[in-house]
Each structure stands twice: as structure tokens, then as C-alpha cells.
Amino acid sequence: MKRRDVIKGLTILPVAGVAMGSTIPLVSSCASPVKRDVLRELGLRTFINAAGTYTFMTGSLLPDEVMEAMVAASKEFVLLDDVQDKAGEKIAEICHAEAATVTAGCWSAMVLGTAGVITGKDQAKIGQLPDLEGLKSEVITQVSHNTGYVHALKNTGVKIIAVETVEELEKAINEKTAMLWFLNYTAPLGKIQDREWVELGRKHNIPTMIDIAADVPPVENLWKFNDMGFDLVCISGGKGLRGPQSAGILMGRKDLIEAARLNAPPRGGNIGRGMKVNKEEVVGMYAALERYVNLDHDREWKIWEDRIAHIENAAKKTAGVRTSVTVPPIANHTPTLNIEWDPEVIKVSREEFQERLRRGNPSIEVVAGGGNSINITAFMMEPGQEIIVAARIAEELTKASATTS
Ligand SMILES: *Cc1c(COP(=O)(O)O)cnc(C)c1O
């Protein structure tokens, strides 16, 4: 850049309304400042999410009203406990809970909730975790619920006891039993259902916790399990709720929420110190929840169905393709399109097909279905993206079948 151009550039700055000293480049004298595209700067691949709310795909996109709440919160200091108090009250009210707190995800909600159950408000016990000498040290769950997610509970030091029947559960209960844990999405695989689980907890005076991480929609799940009587309910913020990915909600009994918070920042000397949630995320979580409950859910559902139908119609035009649409009963409860193809007719493996969609422009992510098939959901798509997805899938299916003739 010649000196003359620099000077010319500088004189243009105030005209374009850009603060002096800004290094934001201008396209031309009359154009608005070019927004920084940090993802592109970093050389990142962005993609259309035709897959769903996957942690490794960064969960969900933050709606403008959530981002605006977070930006507004970033301009002022407040006390971290104050913002948790106030947002927690509102969240609890929306979800029919006695109390609530924003955590660093559903996982963190489970760690802190379990810690709260074990320690109560006893500072000595809080400082002792994860050493459980002299404390309650077992959590009972069902065999079919005993998945990788129990590791969140094990962070507190507890041992997981897995049972199948009510008889086994009642036999497993002893003075070391801290809590009964229920994983909602595997409920259909278990012999004991949610209501009975709560009743068993009540009968034996043991707190119950449920993990409903990815279980909205339907929106009613936000309060269903609080109404049912679970002592603690844990949900992810950055899945169906479209809040910050590193946020979640722990809600339930007031004394247990208070105890859980004593195991978390801003306090230290506890196992939750690394699970900090900043004020922007607390406020963003609240804004996302409020937005979510106020959505027209029937309309949303119809939009998802229309998008899925559009993609299905495009895909099934190719000979050798079979499609079906189902709705998972719990977790990722949204119309899900399965596209399966006959590998004798359409000569491409599922992995290679996914890779071709990924390498296309724009890049598209879908997930593996069973066998030679892919699964597609539309709830994480932006308006109009279904047209691109439909066209790209049809194109790749056609290409792969053309090579056989
Ligand atoms: C995603 C998920 C979690 C973890 O939630 P985060 O919000 O990522 O911490 C826990 N349990 C289940 C069933 C999940 O799907």
C-alpha cells in the first residue's frame, strides 16, 4: 500500500462510520465495513448440519436473541452468584422446579447434583470429595441405563450399582446408597419406568435424578419430570434448547440445588471448581430457554416435516434408493429421514457417500444409518438449506448409479 492510499483510506473512515483507529478493512469508500469472518480466517470448514445436535459438530446454533442477551451481559460486571440466583429463579419457574442453576452442560449438572446429594451443605464434606470415606458412596441405576454417561456421577467418587428388577433394587439399597439415577433415553429398555423410579426413591427416602440431556423436543419434558417428582433433573443447554453448548441446567429440590452450588464456582476447594459458567452463558441459557418455550412448536414441527419431505422426494427419484421417515420416541425427537441404497445399483459405500457430501460446496454433514444408509434430521438446518441438501444428495446418488451402467 502506498502512503497516498493509506491517507486516502484514513479520510474515508469517519465517513463510513467506523471508529478511528479501527483496523477493519473497507471494500470501497461507500461500502459498510466488512465484518470479520473469524471462521474463514482460521481456515475452518463450515457445513450444513443435516445430522442433528451432536457435541462434536458443536451442538446447535445460537439464535440472535440468545447471542444478544450474551453480548449485553458481557458489558457489565455483576456478581456471579447474583446472576445465578436471578436466572435460576426464572428458569425454575418456567420448568416447575423449586430451584435451578445453570451448569457447564448436562454432564456438569450430573456431577454437581450428585455432589450436592452426598455433601449437603457441609463444608467439610464438600472439601473431602471425591474421597467418600464415611460418606454415602453408591448410586443405583438400571443395567440398561448404565452407559458411559454414569462417568459424570463417578466424578464424585461414587460406585455405580446396576440392577434390573424392583426386587434387585430394593436389595441393593443400603446405608451407603446416595441416589437413584435414571437415564431417560434408555427408559424403554428398562424394567422400571420413571414414575415407579420416583416412588421407589420416595419409599426409601433416597433422592432421584434423571438425565434428559437431549430430550426436548417435546417442550413438555422441561417440566414433566419436575412435576413427576424427580428430586433432580439435568438437561443440556446446547442441544434442542439452542443455548450455549457449554451450558446446561440442574433443577429440582431447593436444598439440593443449594448444596450443588456449594460444590461449584465461584467457590473453590470443591470438585466443581473447573465447571465454571460465565455470566454470559448463564444469561444465554435463560434467554434460550425462554425463547424455546415461547416457540410455536407445532409450526416448527411442520417446517421440519416439510424439509424432510423435500429431501426425501429428491432422494427417492434415483433407482435403488429406499427411504423412510421415523421419529425417535425419546431424545432427538424429530422427523428423521433414512436414505438407504442398494450397493449393487448405486456403487458407493456409506462412508464414501458421507465424504462426498462433506467435500462438496457447501459442505454437508449427515450421520450413518444402519447398513448402507444415512440419517438426516432438519431441526438444525437454517431455512432454505434443505434445498441444497436435497440437490446434493440427489446429485451424488445419480452420479454413483451412472458409473455402474
Ligand atoms: C449430551 C448428553 C450428555 C452430556 O451433556 P452436555 O450438555 O454435553 O454436558 C449427558 N447425557 C446424555 C444422555 C447426553 O445425550
Residue 6 has pLDDT above 80, yes or no: no
Q: Which CATH number fits domain 297-402: 3.40.50.300, 3.90.1150.180, 3.20.20.110, 3.80.10.10?
A: 3.90.1150.180
Peptide bond between residue 362 and the one before it cis (omega within 30 degrees of 0): yes
Give percent of the chain with pLDDT exceeding 70: 91
Q: What is the mean pLDDT of the segment spanning 322-326?
A: 98
| CA angle centred on 96, ends 90 and 102, rounded to 5° | 45
pTM of the model: 0.91
pLDDT of residue 30: 55
- Report CA(236)–ligand 1 centroid distance (Å): 6
Strand partners, 50: none
- Report CA(249)–ligand 1 centroid distance (Å): 11
Q: What is the mean pLDDT of the segment spanning 6-14?
A: 40
Q: How many residues in total does the chain contain?
A: 405
Ligand 1 atom with minimal separation from the 236 CA:
7
Residue 16 has pLDDT above 50, yes or no: no
pLDDT digits (tens, 9 = 90+) for 329-349: 999 999 999 999 999 999 999
29 Cβ contact list (under 8 Å, min separation 6): 12, 15, 16
Q: What is the mean pLDDT of the segment spanning 63-80?
A: 98
- Shortest-distance Cα residue to atom 8 of ligand 1: 105
Return the minimum-mean-pLDDT range out of 10-19, 23-32, 71-80, 383-392: 10-19
- Report CA(330)–ligand 1 centroid distance (Å): 14
User: 64-293 and 297-402: same fold?
Assistant: no
pLDDT band at 402 (very low <50, low <70, confident <90, very high): confident
pLDDT band at 34 (very low <50, low <70, confident <90, very high): confident
Ligand 1 shell residues, CB under 6 Å: 55, 105-107, 149, 185, 211, 213-214, 236, 248
Q: State CA 274 to chain mean position distance.
A: 19
- Shortest-distance Cα residue to atom 1 of ligand 1: 213
Residue 217 has pLDDT above 60, yes or no: yes
Q: What residue ranges do the domains of the chain occupy?
A: 3-45, 64-293, 297-402
- Report CA(108)–ligand 1 centroid distance (Å): 9
Mean pLDDT of the chain: 93
What is d(CA 214, CA 297) in angstroms, rounded to the nearest whole number?
16
- Report CA(113)–ligand 1 centroid distance (Å): 14
pLDDT of residue 31: 59
Residue 179: its H or E element:
strand 177-183
- Shortest-distance Cα residue to atom 13 of ligand 1: 213
pLDDT of residue 67: 98
pLDDT of residue 14: 38
Residue 2 has pLDDT above 50, yes or no: no
pLDDT digits (tens, 9 = 90+) for 263-321: 999 999 999 999 999 999 999 999 999 999 999 999 999 999 999 999 999 999 999 99
Ligand 1 atom with minimal separation from the 331 CA:
15
Q: Where are the beta strands (DSSP E) in 58-152?
A: 99-103, 138-142
CATH fold label, 64-293 = Aspartate Aminotransferase; domain 2 (3.40.640)
Ligand 1 atom with minimal separation from the 55 CA:
8
- Shortest-distance Cα residue to atom 11 of ligand 1: 213
Q: What is the mean pLDDT of the segment spanning 226-242?
A: 98
pLDDT of residue 15: 37
Location of C-alpha cell 440472535: 64
- Reference 184, options 155, 226, 156; nearest CA is 226
pLDDT of residue 383: 97
- Reference 320, options 345, 338, 337; nearest CA is 345
